[in-house]
Structure 1
């Protein structure tokens, strides 16, 4: 008689599977947002990466794509925040990440003002701030600050030196863009800081996913 030996199959408890799924959104959010934004920037007539912030893509005939990009990305970040909380990252840090996600959703609902010649027909200078433009700045700004604080709190749990450095660079990039009135150098600095911040989010999510 031949005995059949069956190797044990690793299983994941339902609660753990849900947590891992939520954390997975943290790995998807940044690459999704960056890819959609860069793709539009390349394809949209008149868009200049050196003059226009990505949020300005929400204007014009195809502006709904960037609005949807921001809303979907924000929802993914909010799901990730729930996963962080369930994974033991701490209520304060997870809540701050959740507010960042909510701020991203708000930035998609309230579009940035057109200007600097984009989209076609917009004034060449900075446009006069509208209500929706101010709400875009406020919701995204609150989200950015919350993400910076979350980075500092999570530095005790994930890549202490890198987390603090990214927090400083991201806050400086946002501050320079706001203070300069959108000068070309500050747009490029902020764009780089945004990509760096999303990279941090994805790296954190990957570590938490394997934890």
Structure 2
């Protein structure tokens, strides 16, 4: 004897499956379509967490570390002193998260050729910058002479790695902004890249307030990069 399924019961079951996120076979004529609840790839989700973690830890430390002045000292110098392990961990962890984001963007195909590569350079630069701390100077940590000393080998590696990371961020902003045509979001991307470039030049010139300008540029560029990663992933999923 054939079993009759109530249309209401069938609809309820379908609704339940959708809420559970299971793949649901839907019969349309003779064609079976598989409806899936789309989830963001875990690697990409990890990448989206990098900027908030790095920025939050930098702001909290800048406000609480004795002797630290963001108008005089770059965030990198938070890696020094007894509490330096916090910023070192921040560099390494957010670098790993950024590499995860690069892998996730590559897996979705959303970032094209250069998006994942530039994120990869940024992430690798952050990790190396964490493993090789900046040199002390400008009276930080407290007790350090108020003038910069001779750059150490570790300091030189840190400077090169951080610079590579910053340049990759700038390039990402300009390269990926082209995907948004003449939209306001594209303009925001170019502005973020320009702000970071200007802040980097300002800081390297030794002018007053340079570290603060560079930090503001990093925040602007990295925020744009983070939101853009999410936008590209959503666009790739349709």
TM norm structure 1: 0.89
Larger Rg: 2
Residue 162 of structure 1 pairs with residue 227 of structure 2? no
Residue 82 of structure 1 pairs with residue 99 of structure 2? no
Contact map agreement 2:138 2:147 (CA 8 A) in 1: yes
Contact map agreement 1:24 1:205 (CA 8 A) in 2: no
Give the superposition deviation at 1:41: 1.6
Match of 2:88 in 1: 67
Match of 2:143 in 1: 121
Secondary structure of 2:179's match? coil
Give the superposition deviation at 1:135: 0.6
Match of 2:175 in 1: 153
Residue 25 of structure 1 pairs with residue 46 of structure 2? yes
Q: Distance in 2 between matches of 1:39 and 1:127?
A: 27
Contact map agreement 1:24 1:209 (CA 8 A) in 2: no
Match of 1:171 among 194, 197, 204: 197
Secondary structure of 1:79's match? helix
Using CA pairs under 8 Å that are at least 6 residues apart, name the structure with larger relative contact order, 1 or 2: 1
Match of 2:217 among 182, 193, 197: 193
TM norm structure 2: 0.80
Q: Distance in 1 between matches of 2:225 and 2:93?
A: 16
Give the superposition deviation at 1:20: 2.1
Q: Distance in 2 between matches of 1:48 and 1:153?
A: 33
Give the superposition deviation at 1:11: 4.6
Residue 91 of structure 1 pairs with residue 113 of structure 2? yes
Contact map agreement 2:173 2:225 (CA 8 A) in 1: no
Instruction: Identify unmatched segments of 5+ residues in structure 1.
Output: none
Instruction: Identify unmatched segments of 5+ residues in structure 2.
Output: 24-34
Runs of 4+ residues over 6 Å off in structure 1: none
Give the superposition deviation at 1:27: 2.1
Q: Distance in 1 between matches of 2:221 and 2:127?
A: 17
Cα-to-partner distance string for 1:32-79 (whole Å, 9 max, x where unaligned): 001111111222111112211111000011111110100001111111
Give the superposition deviation at 1:87: 2.1
Residue 207 of structure 1 pairs with residue 228 of structure 2? no
Q: Distance in 2 between matches of 1:126 and 1:40?
A: 22
